Structures are given as C-alpha cells and as structure tokens.
Amino acid sequence: MAKKVIECLDHYFHGLGYNCAESTLRAANEAWELNLPEEAFRLMGGFGGGMGVKGVCGGVSGGVAALSHYYVRISGHQSPLLMAKAKIFQELVAERLGDTNCSYLMPKYLTEKESCMPTISLIAQILDEVKDMELDIPEYLPRKLRILQFMDALKGNCLRIDIRPNSEYAEGHIDGIDSLPLTELDGYNGDTSLPIVICSGDINAVDKAHKILAGKGFAEIYYFDLNMWKGELVK
C-alpha cells in the first residue's frame, strides 16, 4: 500500500531536523517515490520560516515543489493539471488553516514541544488529498504560443489548424488558419516534417488533438489559445 506524506513527515522534521519546506518535500519524495537526488533538497533550504520573512509557509512551498516534480514533463506552462492542483492545494490550506503565511500560522499552531509539526501535518494531509484528486484537466499540453509568437507562426512555414466545430469557425476565425474539426482529425494527412499549430480555446480539445497528432508522427506541436484572440489580429 502506498505511503502518505503525513506518515513520513515526523522522521524528517523531528528525527533529522530539516525545516518545514525540506521536510515536506523529503516526505513526499519518500511517500510518492519521486526518486529525487539529494542535491534537489538543497533548493528548499531558503523556503523555511516563510522564506525567512514569515511569508508563505515552508510546508506549502515544499508541497508545491512535490506536486511540480510529480506532474511536470517539460515546464509549468505546459502542465495545466499541475497548476490546477497547486491552486487547489493553496486554497484548501487557506480555507482549513486560515491562511498560507507563517505570520498567521505560527501564532495559531506553533507549540514549544512540537514546533511547526502541527501546521505541516495538516498541510501534508491536504497535499495527499490534492495529489489523489481526479480532475478532468490534461496533464500535459504542447507549447503554448503567445500573441507575437503566433503572429510569427502565421508568416512561417508551418501547418495551422483550427479544431473547433465548423459552425464556430464560420462565426469567426483567423485568416490563414485552416478549419479541421477535432472530429475529423483522425483522417488528417499533413506533412509531419513541419511544425503544426493547434488553434482552440478548449484545453481538453487541444489535449485530444495533441495525442492524435503525436500518434501520426508530428514531433513539433504547438497550440494557440483562441481565448486570447478578440476577433482581430495584426498581420
């Protein structure tokens, strides 16, 4: 049976004397079998005591670091599930403990005998809970293009497809982008040697399109979020 972060926490905090951030990440590393190298834990040293200024609790920082390593394949920008879980994690800590900052948590939970252990124990329980949550959000997306990058892509030698339904494309679209609804993507035979840009405002649709295109042999896949498009684009 898989371990929980809370089960490993005391060993690192009281047993070995690591700070809240170090202890939380080390406990998650053991419980979730992250296999982090020893050097990685040094990165958390400065996050103890709310980064030394009673800011965000080290337990929260260590928890976000653990979630990051668990979910990120390339970068945070391409990891919507991570960002959603990091947000939920911090919101739940604030909701249940009252805040995420040491300046609030220490006066409320710190004890002479246990030090910060009561605080980070509660945080560790939330961390395990968030990690086990099932969310309908892609774990990984292809690289997202910003406006200027997308404008360059419009001028470059690459494929550009709008995967929205035909009805939405007809209501308004960007010149130079071909309509190729997601439902028709299985039959697409584009040149796999070229970069391809997926255009959509639905990240779940982008996730599905990415998997189909990757399966066809496309190696350089990007996407442009049509929620950033307001009906006009400087050419």
Domains of the chain: 5-132 (no CATH), 143-228 (3.40.250.10)
User: pLDDT by residue (tens digit) across 197-221?
Assistant: 999 999 999 999 999 999 999 999 9
Q: The whole model's pTM is what?
A: 0.85
Q: Compute the half-sphere exposure of residue 23: CA atoms within 13 Å on the CB side of its CA.
A: 27
The pLDDT-based confidence of 230 (bands split at 50, 70, 90) is low
Share of the chain above pLDDT 70, in %: 97
184 vs 203: CA distance, rounded Å: 18
What are the backbone dihedrals phi and psi of residue 27, each rounded to the nearest 5 degrees, phi first?
Answer: -65, -40
54 vs 48: CA distance, rounded Å: 9
30 vs 3: CA distance, rounded Å: 8
Nearest to 163 by CA among 216, 201, 220: 201
Measure the CA angle with vertex 208, ends 87 and 69; round to 5°.
Answer: 40
What pLDDT is attached to residue 19?
97
User: pLDDT by residue (tens digit) across 34-85?
Assistant: 999 999 999 999 999 999 999 999 999 999 999 999 999 989 999 999 999 9
3-state secondary structure of 225: strand
The pLDDT-based confidence of 235 (bands split at 50, 70, 90) is very low
Q: Compute the half-sphere exposure of residue 55: CA atoms within 13 Å on the CB side of its CA.
A: 7
Count the Cβ atoms, other than its own, within 10 Å of residue 95.
Answer: 10
